Chain A
Amino acid sequence: MKVATASLPEALRPMELLQGPVTPGSLDDQVLQFPAQRPPRAWYVALAVTLTALGIGVACMGWTLYWGIGTWGNNRPVAWGFGIINFVFWVGIGHAGTLISAILFILRARWRNAIARFAEAMTIFAVICAAIFPVLHTGRPWFAYWLFPYPNERALWVNFRSPLIWDVFAVSTYFSVSLIYWYLGLVPDFASLRDRTAEGWRKRIYTVLSLGWRGAASHWVHYDKAYLLLAGLATGLVISVHSVVSFDFAVSLVPGWHMTIFPPYFVAGAIFAGFAMVVMVLTVVRKTMNLANLITDNHLDVMNKLILAMSCIMGYAYVMEGGTAWYSANPYIQHTFMNYVSGFYGWAGITTITCNIIIPQIFWFRRMRRSIPAMIFVALAVTLGMWMERFVIIVISLHQDYLPSAWHKYIPTKIDFGILLGSFGLFFTLVLLFARVLPVIATSEMKTSLPSRSEGQS
Chain B
Amino acid sequence: MSSATFAVLGLYTDAHKIVDAANQIRPRKLGRLEAYTPYPVHGLDRAIGLAPSGLGRLVMLMGVIGAGLALLFEGWVSAVDYPLVTGGKALFSWQAFVPVMFEVTVLFATFTAGLAMLFAFNKLPFFGHPVLHSRAIKGITRDKLALSIEATSEAFDAEAARRALLDNGAESVEIVPVPAWDRPLSLVGLLRTIAAIVAACAVAGGGLFAAEKLMPIVPPMIHMHEQPKLNAFQESAFFADGRGMRPAVAGTVARGHLPPAFATPEEAGTLLSNPLPLTQPIAERGHKVFGDHCAICHGLVGDGVPLLSRAYGGKPGNFLSNEIRARPDGHYFGVLMLGKNAMPSYAADLDQDDRWAVVHYIRILQRAQNAKDEDLR
Question: Which A residues fall within an 8 A CB radius of B?
Answer: 23-25, 28, 65-68, 140, 142, 149, 155-163, 165-166, 169-170, 173, 176-177, 180-181, 183-184, 188, 191-192, 194-196, 207-208, 211-226, 229-230, 233-234, 236-237, 240-241, 243-244, 247, 443-445, 447-448, 452-454
Contacts and interface: CB of A to CB of B under 8 A. Distances in A.
A447 B141 CA distance: 11
Contact of B45 (A217, A233, A237): A217
Interface in B95-153: 96-97, 99-100, 102-104, 106-107, 109-111, 113-118, 121-122, 124-129, 131-132, 137-138, 140-143
Contacts of A157: 77-78, 81-82
A212 B126 contact: yes
The residue among B55, B113, B221, B223 with the most chain A CB atoms within 10 A of its own CB is B113
A288 B22 CA distance: 43
Given A214-B137, A219-B124, A448 B39 contact: yes
A218 B15 CA distance: 16
A165 B102 CA distance: 13
Interface in B49-75: 50, 52-53, 55-56, 59, 73-74
B13 interface: yes
Given A177-B107, A212-B124, A214-B132, A225 B99 contact: no
B117 A223 contact: yes
A24 B55 contact: no
The 10 closest A-B pairs by CB, nearest first: A24-B143, A226-B117, A211-B125, A217-B35, A225-B53, A220-B40, A447-B39, A161-B96, A166-B99, A222-B121
Nearest to A184: B114
A191 B138 CA distance: 9
Interface stretch (B86-94, B282-290, B306-314): B86-94
23 contacts: A24-B142, A65-B220, A66-B219, A66-B220, A140-B221, A157-B82, A166-B99, A177-B110, A188-B39, A195-B140, A207-B127, A208-B125, A212-B129, A212-B132, A213-B124, A217-B37, A221-B52, A225-B56, A225-B117, A226-B113, A233-B109, A237-B103, A237-B106
B16 A165 contact: no
A169 B221 contact: no
A229 B16 contact: no
Interface of B: 13-17, 34-41, 44-45, 48, 50, 52-53, 55-56, 59, 73-74, 77-78, 81-82, 84, 86-87, 89, 93, 96-97, 99-100, 102-104, 106-107, 109-111, 113-118, 121-122, 124-129, 131-132, 137-138, 140-143, 215, 219-221, 223-224
A222 B122 contact: yes
Contacts of A234: 110
Given A166-B100, A229-B56, A216 B34 contact: yes
Contacts of B137: 195, 214
Given A66-B220, A159-B84, A212-B127, A229 B113 contact: yes
Contacts of B78: 157, 159-161
Given A195-B137, A215-B37, A453-B13, 18 more contacts: A65-B220, A140-B221, A160-B100, A166-B100, A169-B107, A177-B110, A180-B111, A195-B142, A211-B126, A212-B128, A214-B140, A219-B124, A222-B121, A223-B122, A229-B56, A234-B110, A444-B38, A454-B16
Nearest to A156: B82
A362 to B, nearest CB: 38
B60 to A, nearest CB: 9
Contacts of A195: 137-138, 140-142
Given A157-B81, A230-B114, A240 B99 contact: yes
A229 to B, nearest CB: 4
A165 B221 CA distance: 24
A196 B138 contact: yes
Contact of B220 (A68, A169, A188, A240): A68
A158 to B, nearest CB: 8
The residue among A208, A211, A221, A247 with the most chain B CB atoms within 10 A of its own CB is A221
Q: Is the interface of B mostly helix, strand, loop or mixed?
A: helix
Contacts of A226: 53, 55, 113-114, 116-117
Given A68-B220, A166-B100, A155 B117 contact: no
Contacts of A159: 78, 84, 86
A179 to B, nearest CB: 9
Given A195-B137, A215-B140, A229 B55 contact: yes
B89 A161 contact: yes
B215 A240 contact: no
A452 B219 contact: no
A447 B55 contact: no
Contact of A165 (B17, B41, B100, B224): B100
B21 to A, nearest CB: 13
A240 B140 contact: no
Contacts of B223: 67-68
The residue among A65, A163, A181, A448 with the most chain B CB atoms within 10 A of its own CB is A448
Contacts of B74: 160
The residue among B17, B39, B56 with the most chain A CB atoms within 10 A of its own CB is B39
A176 B78 CA distance: 26
B146 to A, nearest CB: 8
B258 to A, nearest CB: 33
B77 A218 contact: no
B103 A166 contact: yes
B129 A214 contact: yes
A161 B215 CA distance: 30
A140 B222 CA distance: 10
B36 A170 contact: no
Nearest to B100: A169
Nearest to A64: B220
Contacts of B125: 208, 211-212
Nearest to B129: A214
B117 A177 contact: no
A67 B220 contact: yes
The residue among A28, A68, A216, A452 with the most chain B CB atoms within 10 A of its own CB is A216
A221 B107 contact: no
A191 B97 CA distance: 42
A161 B142 CA distance: 51
A316 B362 CA distance: 75
A222 B55 CA distance: 7
Contacts of A28: 142-143
Nearest to B17: A454
A215 B50 contact: no
Nearest to B98: A166
A104 to B, nearest CB: 18
Nearest to B77: A157
A188 to B, nearest CB: 7
A25 B100 contact: no
Contacts of B117: 184, 222-223, 225-226
B14 A452 contact: yes
A215 B103 CA distance: 32
Nearest to B84: A159
